[in-house]
A and B are shown apart, each in its own frame.
Chain A
Amino acid sequence: MKIAVLSGKGGTGKTLVSVNLAAAAGKSTYIDCDVEEPNGHLFFKPADVKSESVTVKKPLIDSQLCSGCRKCVDFCKFNALAYVGGRVILFDDICHSCGGCALFCPEKAISEREKSVGYVQSGMSEDVSVITGIMNTGEASGVPIIKRLLENLPEDDKPVFIDCPPGSACIVMESIKDADYCLLVAEPTIFGAHNLSMVYRLVKLFGKPHGVVLNKCLEGDNPSERFCVENGINILGSIPFDSELGTLNSNALIAARESAKYGKLFNSFLETVAREVQHEAAVNS
């Protein structure tokens, strides 16, 4: 069971929900795909952390062998290569590491080198396996790191919680593509409802079973709740705008572990999500 937790903007509570669900589940895997600013590890404080580097391939051009035919420049649909002053120049940030230029070069003047773009850290926090992707400062895309995070996941019964980056761009698509279920976290504001509509359209496009958790709920009108009702979206539960939760969270504590009340709340979410995933699996089988 792989559950992706996402939202159209930052600060809605993706990490709150995914960290607490993983903690409530006990034996589980938490994966932080918000590689530009991962913070789930601040709550889990994992022990025995192992780190491994993530690299991508970039072309290495041997100007001595280059005949100036420009086949590589013409091939590159990302426009990452130019032929200037009698040699090929690489624009590193634009290169998508497809390897096509090396394949096309008739002079075999292009080879590939490994370039580090970030790293993956894994450790344990009680029974939760905590895996964090971290992108190097200045890199343009976190996609290669997310690919690494989500490949080779253990094929066991332990639930996996994927804490996605905010928004609905490439890195989010990469994070949800293998998920069994998408959990959308939304704030009770007009802006929150607008951002919810963005990720709602994304999960619909991907054909993913999905449901909403309403966060920071107050008395009165909730535009995100209204959006769910109008569009027939399943609301799995709501989290109150509560100073106890806020205090625990701002002290980097996991509410589901510290407070009986929140332990119960996140356990009930977990049961609802598990039921939903089973239901979807039964419907689609």
Chain B
Amino acid sequence: MKIAIPADEKSLESGVCPSFGRAPYFLIYDTETNESEFIDNSAAASQGGAGVKAGQTIVDSKARALITPRCGENAAMAMHAANIKIYKSIEGSIMDNINALTQGKLSILEEIHPGFHGHHGGN
């Protein structure tokens, strides 16, 4: 199974990026082959709709699970439409999170925050 994780740096030892839509990279990790691939998040610099665009990247990566500390409602809708499960990340490195997921220790992310569009006073 492929797992997607927002990453601050291109390293399995780096932390999980606190933002999903604006993360600089996504790690796509294959739990069957243990292969890892870091892909650029083209949505990071978007003016708006970063969650949707980042969600599209995850959908296209064929990941079946996403590990993230938080997720907006638009990205969550894209994940839901593609039957990708969203898990809440825990403290520690990206690798710690992958191990936790394969051991069944991560829980489903319940809190989905509303989009930021139109609420930042600068649009």
Contacting residues of chain A (11-45) with chain B, CB-CB under 8 angstroms: none
A63 contacts chain B at the CB level, 8 A cutoff: no
Most buried by B among A84, A93, A167: A84
B77 contacts chain A at the CB level, 8 A cutoff: yes
Q: Which of A72-80, A122-130, A249-257 contacts B (4 or more CB under 8 A)?
A: A72-80
Q: Decide: B115 and A83 in contact? CB cutoff 8 A.
A: no
CA distance A9 to B63 in the complex (A): 45
Residue in contact with B117 in the complex, picked from A83, A89, A94, CB distance below 8 Å? A94
A82 contacts chain B at the CB level, 8 A cutoff: yes
Residue in contact with B81 in the complex, picked from A76, A81, A89, A93, CB distance below 8 Å? A89
Q: Which of B4-12, B45-53, B88-96, B97-105 contacts A (4 or more CB under 8 A)?
A: B45-53
Residues of A within 8 A of B81 (CB): 82, 84-85, 89
A169 contacts chain B at the CB level, 8 A cutoff: yes
Q: Decide: B123 and A170 in contact? CB cutoff 8 A.
A: yes
Q: Decide: B74 and A83 in contact? CB cutoff 8 A.
A: no
Q: Decide: B52 and A93 in contact? CB cutoff 8 A.
A: no
Secondary structure call for the A interface: loop
Residues of A within 8 A of B39 (CB): none
Residues of A within 8 A of B117 (CB): 93-94, 140
Residue in contact with A82 in the complex, picked from B46, B52, B118, B123, CB distance below 8 Å? B52
Per-residue B-contact encoding for A76-102, CB less than 8 Å = 1, 0 else: 111111111100010101100000000
A141 contacts chain B at the CB level, 8 A cutoff: yes
Residues of A within 8 A of B56 (CB): 73, 82-84
CA distance A82 to B80 in the complex (A): 12
Q: Decide: A91 and B49 in contact? CB cutoff 8 A.
A: yes
A84-B78 contact given A79-B52, A91-B52, A94-B48, CB 8 Å threshold: yes
B27 contacts chain A at the CB level, 8 A cutoff: no
B55 contacts chain A at the CB level, 8 A cutoff: yes
Residues of A within 8 A of B122 (CB): 169
Contacting residues of chain B (67-123) with chain A, CB-CB under 8 angstroms: 74, 77-78, 81-83, 115, 117-118, 121-123
Nearest neighbor of A81 in chain B, beta-carbon distance: B52
Secondary structure call for the B interface: loop
Residues of B within 8 A of A84 (CB): 55-56, 59, 78, 81-82
| B95 → chain A closest CB, angstroms | 29
| A9 → chain B closest CB, angstroms | 11
Contacting residues of chain A (216-251) with chain B, CB-CB under 8 angstroms: none
A82-B115 contact given A73-B56, A169-B122, A170-B123, CB 8 Å threshold: no
Nearest neighbor of A143 in chain B, beta-carbon distance: B123
Residues of A within 8 A of B48 (CB): 78-79, 94
Q: Decide: B118 and A85 in contact? CB cutoff 8 A.
A: no
A85-B52 contact given A94-B74, A169-B121, CB 8 Å threshold: no
Q: Decide: A93 and B115 in contact? CB cutoff 8 A.
A: yes
| B14 → chain A closest CB, angstroms | 26
CA distance A141 to B77 in the complex (A): 21
Nearest neighbor of B52 in chain A, beta-carbon distance: A79
Q: Decide: A94 and B115 in contact? CB cutoff 8 A.
A: yes
Q: Decide: A140 and B118 in contact? CB cutoff 8 A.
A: yes
Contacting residues of chain B (11-58) with chain A, CB-CB under 8 angstroms: 43, 46-50, 52-53, 55-56
CA distance A93 to B118 in the complex (A): 9
25 contacts between A and B (CB under 8 A): A78-B47, A78-B49, A79-B48, A79-B52, A79-B53, A80-B49, A82-B52, A82-B55, A82-B56, A83-B59, A84-B55, A85-B81, A89-B81, A91-B74, A91-B77, A94-B48, A94-B52, A94-B74, A94-B115, A140-B118, A141-B118, A141-B123, A167-B121, A169-B123, A170-B123
